[in-house]
Structure 1
Amino acid sequence: MTITQLQYVLAVAKYQNFTLAAEKSFVTQPTLSMQIQKLEDELDILIFDRGKKPIQLTEVGKMIVEQAKNIVNESGRIKDIVEQQKGFIGGEFKIGIIPTVMPTLLPMFLNNFIKKYSKVQLKIEELNTELMIQKLLDGSLDAGIAATPLQHEQIKERVLYYEPFVAYIPQNHRLYSNRKIDTTDLAIEDILLLEDGHCFRDGVINLCKNAKDFNDERFQLESGSFETMIRLANEGLGMTLLPYLHTTDLKETEKSNLHHFNEPVPAREVSLIYHRSELKLHIIDALREVIMGVIRGAIAFQNVQIISPVSKK
């Protein structure tokens, strides 16, 4: 049994196709198939049911794949140890970013980072927080950028910045004439929310004092887009709350609908998160340094009240 054989097994399990798995593994299909066959012969079992389309794992194959993930991830950590000792900042680094942060933060730091650390091969995924934590725990992700605190005992959090909430209030709304607003002015029933599953949605619900028994019965909306929320607000369907960075590129006509909160300003805490046993701390340090360097000029708010992203349901 070899690490390479286990890597091939994981590739087929992921892509459910021997040809595609071979292509992604940069080997020929006969080579990949032969190595998996050798492993099955050695173990005297079938890992894959080749009679099904797409290819499926057998019951014992499912257990082998779970163990193979651990073995392959742990074997990769040997290289991480060596690189960290040498001070080498390079190699593959897999990072997840939540959808409400990725569109604004990524363009701000990515170019700077890849220029400064050209030997790091970033692999970036847009993930919700729940899936991000799962991937951090199983070792298929090195770090994530998410709203915190998450209160997870296996996950470390290093704060990057505090991003204030800003209210988008159209002219026909009861709060439009207020130059600034308080959190006590908010009524959950007329705030347009992102679809369920977004931590920013949970943060808004947590912010509202009257949200204990909230049940949105007005209409069902399946959108993860702040742009959609703004358009609906413009149509007179309510107001919405936006993260500060999402307001910087609005049209001038839309900026006139922005209302800031009185201090302490409600804000979300955005952090780099990673598993407590993560070894690529030198890359995490480099990433944090670059992000904090570009964000300082974009967000100058100090007196903030951190709103938890953890759902109270």
Structure 2
Amino acid sequence: MTITQLKYVLAVAEYKNFTLAAEKCFVTQPTLSMQIQKIEEELGIQIFDRTKKPIQLTEIGQQIVNQSKNIVNEADRIQDIVDQQKGFIGGEFRLGIIPTIMPTLLPMFLNNFIKKYPKVKLIIEELNTDEIILKLNNGHLDAAIAATPLQEEKIKEVVLYFEPFVAYIPEGHRNFQKQEIEVDDLNIDEILLLQDGHCFRDGILNLCKNVAANEKAHFQIESGSFETLIKLADEGLGTTLLPYLHTLDLKEKDQLKLRHFKEPKPAREVSLIFPKNELKIHIIDALRSTIAGVVKGAIVFQNVQIISPLQKK
């Protein structure tokens, strides 16, 4: 059997469809099917149960897929070793970034990185945390930037910085006159939230889990962007919480409505995450170093309380 054949097996296991797997592998469907059949004949077993729709792995097929992932990853490591020995930092690198980090962090480091490492072809995707974890585990991302800790067994986390939560409080609100606020000052029912699926939303809910709810609330609004939440707050519809880096770009009149929390400041931990097999570690290190160089001047908070990004059951 060959590495290429094993890659075909992994593709069918992931997409549960021979035609789609062939498209993703850039081969014809008959070619892919023939190569998988050769492995099955060589081993004398069936990897896939083709009678089911969608196609399912057999019991032995699942074990073969698990081992195939290890073999393909270790084969890819050979090129990694060669590149490191040569001091070569280049090639394709697939990076995922969650939506609440992408707009602020990416402009800070991207230009520096591509100038310093022109041979690296960065392919960047904006993905939510669940999508990132899936793609990392399936080998479709080399690394990602997300809020942590995630408690994923196969994923390594390297902390980049701690980013405090900052309250956006419009004039006329009872907390507007306060210089600093505490978690107990919050009312969860008047906090305008991002839509479900954003880990920053889950962080806010975790932060406010012990804050009493107001049963008299007449509405609940969720949005896909901080800009919308800010505008809704200005209309008197509530308050919102923002990540610190996002507040740096606000207009001066809007910055007057920001209120920081007393120490220890509630914050999210932002990390560079990647599979523990550490493929392309030389590019990962270059990325970490570049980001650390640009955020150290903007993020200087140390006395913080890390708020989990994981949704509480």
Q: TM-score, normalising length from structure 2? A: 0.80
User: Equivalents in 2 of 1:198, 1:149: separation in Å?
Assistant: 15
Contact 1:165 1:243 in 2 (8 A): yes
Structure 1 residue 220: Cα displacement: 5.1
Aligned pair in 2 of structure 1 residues 158, 175: CA closer, same or farther (>3 Å)? same
The alpha carbon displacement at 1:287 in A equals: 0.6
Q: Which moved more, 1:196-205 or 1:301-310?
A: 301-310
The alpha-carbon distance between structure 1 residues 88 and 48, as it changes in their structure 2 partners (threshold 3 A), is farther
CA distance in 1, matches of 2:262, 2:270: 21
* 1:6 maps onto 2:11 in alignment: no
AA matched with 1:191: I
Are 2:160 and 2:291, in contact at CA under 8 Å, matched by a contact in 1?
yes
Deviation at residue 47 of structure 1 after TM alignment: 4.8
User: What is the Cα deviation at residue 290 of structure 1?
Assistant: 0.3
CA, structure 1 residues 4+183, in 2 after alignment: closer, same or farther (shift >3 Å)? same
Deviates more, 1:113-122 or 1:211-220: 211-220
Residue 120 of structure 1: aligned partner? 120
SS at match of 2:310: coil
Instruction: Provide the C-alpha distance between the structure 1 equivalents of 2:7 and 2:153, rounded to a whole number of angstroms.
Output: 29
Per the alignment, do residues 151 and 10 of structure 1 end up closer, same or farther by CA in structure 2, a change over 3 Å counting?
A: closer
Render the CA deviation track for 1:128-149: whole Å, top value 9, x for unaligned: 3334334434544332212223
Displacement, 1:96? Answer: 2.2
User: Secondary structure at the residue paired with 2:223?
Assistant: coil
The structure-2 alpha-carbon separation of the partners of 1:76 and 1:159, relative to structure 1 and needing over 3 Å to count, comes to same
1:265 alignment counterpart: 265
Q: Distance in 1 between matches of 2:312 and 2:17?
A: 41
1:249-308, Cα deviation, whole Å (9 max, x unpaired)? 223443332222333332222111233332432222111110011112323444433333
SS of equivalent to 2:150: coil
- Which residue number corresponds to residue 226 of structure 2? 226
What amino acid maps onto 1:275 in structure 2?
P
Aligned-pair distance for 1:24? 4.9
Match of 2:157 in 1: 157
Alignment partner of 2:197: what SS? coil
Work out the CA distance in 1 between the residues paired with 2:270 and 2:305: 13
Distance 1:72 1:160 in 2: 29
* Corresponding residue of 2:286: 286
In 2, distance between residues paired with 1:137 and 1:46? 20
Give me the TM-score of the superposition, normalised by structure 1: 0.80
Residues 188 and 210 in structure 1, CA contact (< 8 A), matched pair in contact too: no
SS, match of residue 174 in structure 1: coil
Structure 2 SS opposite 1:282 = helix
- Residue 164 of structure 1 aligns to a residue whose secondary structure is strand
The answer for the alignment partner of 2:102 in structure 1 is: 102
Mapped to 2, the partners of 1:231 and 1:4 lie a distance apart of: 53
Q: Give the deviation of 1:15 after TM superposition.
A: 6.6
1:235 maps to what in 2?
Answer: 235
Alpha carbons of structure 1 residues 20 and 193: separation in structure 2 relative to 1, 3 Å: same
Structure-1 residue corresponding to 2:200: 200
Instruction: Tell me the CA shift for residue 10 of structure 1.
Output: 4.5
Deviations 1:186-233 (A, max 9, x none): 222221222333221222223236347799975454533212222221
- Please say if residues 206 and 311 of structure 1, whose CA atoms lie closer than 8 Å, have aligned partners that are also in contact: yes
Call closer, same or farther: CA 1:263–1:285 in 2, change over 3 Å.
same
Paired residue type of 1:183: V
| Rounded Cα–Cα distance in structure 2 between residues aligned with 1:167 and 1:275 | 34
- Structure 1 156/37 Cα, relative in aligned 2: closer, same or farther at 3 Å? closer
Shift in CA distance, 219/38, structure 1 to aligned 2, threshold 3 Å: farther
Which residue does 1:57 correspond to in 2? Answer: 55
Gaps of 5+ in 2: none
Cα distance, 1:170 vs structure 2 = 1.4
Instruction: Give the match's secondary structure for 2:147.
Output: strand
Identity across the alignment (%): 68
Aligned to 1:309: 309
Contact residue 98 and residue 146 of structure 2 kept, 8 A: yes
Q: Does 1:76 align with 2:76?
A: yes
Structure 1 residues not aligned, in runs of 5+: none
**Residues 192 and 240 in structure 1, CA contact (< 8 A), matched pair in contact too:** yes
| CA distance in 2: counterparts of 1:11 and 1:27, whole angstroms | 12
Contact 2:73 2:277 in 1 (8 A): no
Mapped partners of 2:92, 2:168: distance in 1? 40
| Alpha carbons 1:164, 1:267 under 8 Å: kept | yes
The letter for the 1-side match of 2:55 is L
